[in-house]
Copies of this chain bind each other. A is one copy, B any other.
Amino acid sequence: MSPGELFNQIRLKRSYLCIGLDTDITKLPSHLLKHEDPVAEFNRHIIEATQEYCVAYKPNLAFYESLGPAGLQSLQKTMAYIPENIFTIADAKRGDIGNTSAMYARAFFEFFDFDAVTVTPYMGEDSVKPFLEFSGKWVILLALTSNKGANDFQGLKVNVDGKEMPLYESVITKSIHWGDSSNMMFVIGATRADHFYHIRKLAPDHFMLVPGVGAQGGSLREVSEAGMNSRCGLLVNSSREILYASSGEDFAERAAAAARKLQQEMEIFLDKKQLLD
């Protein structure tokens, strides 16, 4: 999917919501457990109920891998339930030497046919480049994450050609030359809204994938005010607040309500930025 098509979907749905499919089999409504594939069945209901309010789904690989081969089968079914016009992100945080990153790219872009995969930058350019060789596919590179541990290394001051900057900033300024705004995004945690104005200057045209709104404490308003660009440039993720809005038989209905609430807030911010005309 091109950035233009993604922006079209955002305008059409008045939403830049990404729904994280962190589907935890221990948290599913009990009436689904008798189904032969409770994880896929849960996702099917969630996708049917929420698809009009979001522009992206982001399955979190860990939750599927924890179930072994059957978990990847649930993931495969889940991908088939997602409509064509919705952007799909493999939240996998991969990154390895070239021939291995190329294999991960084949897994996510070819076998599962995701539009994008999250990648970790620690091993540098040759660990990221193999993902960028797939036409029409995206790398979403970790820059500044939403968790407490982000301070351990991402916030360290590094020296790049005599200039001092936080490590995450050097990740953005170096990697921005590896691809462009049509095949790279950055992960910027919503809990770091104070850094967002600065980050937007470093990468004015790129989409940012923003986790951390809700359970982790980030503010949708702050992120939207600081991070939105002329093509929106934001995908704001919510997972648990939507998936587990109810643990009863009304889970899909309640998930839809939670997603709609976020969509309605997003519509206000898109309108303020005059992106809906």
Contacts and interface: CB of A to CB of B under 8 A. Distances in A.
A170 B153 CA distance: 8
A151 B127 CA distance: 12
A111 B153 contact: no
Contact of A103 (B62, B124, B142): B62
Contacts of A127: 147, 149
A146 interface: yes
Contact of A104 (B65, B124, B145): B65
A187 to B, nearest CB: 10
Contact of A120 (B122, B160, B170): B122
Contacts of A106: 66
A122 B124 contact: no
A147 B123 contact: yes
Interface in A148-184: 148-154, 156-160, 164, 167, 170-171, 174
Nearest to A108: B65
Interface stretch (A2-10, A44-52, A68-76): A68-76
A60 interface: yes
Interface size bucket, A side?
35 or more
B148 A124 contact: yes
A78 B200 CA distance: 47
Nearest to A93: B96
20 contacts: A22-B100, A62-B104, A66-B106, A66-B107, A69-B73, A93-B95, A93-B96, A97-B145, A122-B153, A123-B147, A124-B152, A125-B149, A127-B149, A152-B174, A156-B160, A156-B170, A157-B158, A157-B159, A158-B158, A158-B159
Interface of A: 22, 24, 60, 62-63, 65-70, 72-73, 76, 91, 93-101, 103-104, 106-107, 110-112, 120-128, 142, 145-154, 156-160, 164, 167, 170-171, 174
